[in-house]
């Protein structure tokens, strides 16, 4: 069941609408505001403790020193509870921030929400936000195995 859900969420289309436009101010939420002055890698994912989400999180964790070198922070968002995030971080050794979005309001603001069997989940999209708070890149339907490397490459290209 978990695998079918993740495959559905990965392949499903987004709820009607578009991503916030590149070049515009990124939709705000309290945790995002605390990172002004840094690059922010804001990634949305469906569910804690699932294989794809765990792989994606491990890769972002593995690359934490590279993000620090680039004055960047990683922030993950899903509809899971704060308690689930706390347990996920503890079990998987994650040191970056996971934000609980139980009403999917943040996910909706970034058009990164999917519905499955009447329940809302965050869709796997990643957004790169510059130190001024502007959206500079969207990674639609990000692949868990390569998302971190793609974001690092984009950061390097933008800083040239």
Backbone angles phi, psi at 32, to 5 degrees: -65, -40
Q: Would you call 53 a catalytic residue per the annotation?
A: yes
With contact defined as beta carbons under 8 Å apart, do 47 and 78 qualify? Answer: yes
Residue bearing tokens 């970034």: 110
With contact defined as beta carbons under 8 Å apart, do 32 and 129 qualify? Answer: yes
With contact defined as beta carbons under 8 Å apart, do 96 and 60 qualify? Answer: yes
Catalytic one of 26, 53, 114, 135:
53
Helix axes 82-92, 51-62, angle to 10 degrees: 60
Give the active site residues. 53
């Amino acid at each position: 069941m978990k695998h079918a859900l993740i495959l559905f969420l990965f392949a499903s289309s987004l709820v009607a609408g578009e991503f916030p436009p590149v070049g515009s101010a990124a939709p705000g939420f309290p945790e995002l505001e605390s990172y002004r002055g840094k690059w922010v890698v804001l990634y949305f994912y469906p569910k804690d403790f699932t294989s794809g989400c765990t792989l994606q999180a491990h890769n972002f964790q593995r690359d934490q020193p590279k993000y620090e070198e680039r004055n960047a922070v990683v922030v993950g968002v899903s509809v899971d509870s704060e308690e689930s995030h706390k347990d996920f971080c503890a079990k998987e050794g994650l040191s970056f921030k996971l934000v609980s979005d139980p009403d999917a309001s943040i996910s909706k603001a970034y058009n990164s929400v999917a519905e499955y069997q009447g329940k809302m989940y965050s869709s796997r999209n990643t957004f790169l936000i510059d130190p001024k708070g502007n959206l500079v890149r969207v990674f639609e339907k990000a692949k868990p195995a390569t998302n971190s490397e793609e974001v690092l490459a984009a950061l390097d290209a933008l800083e040239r």
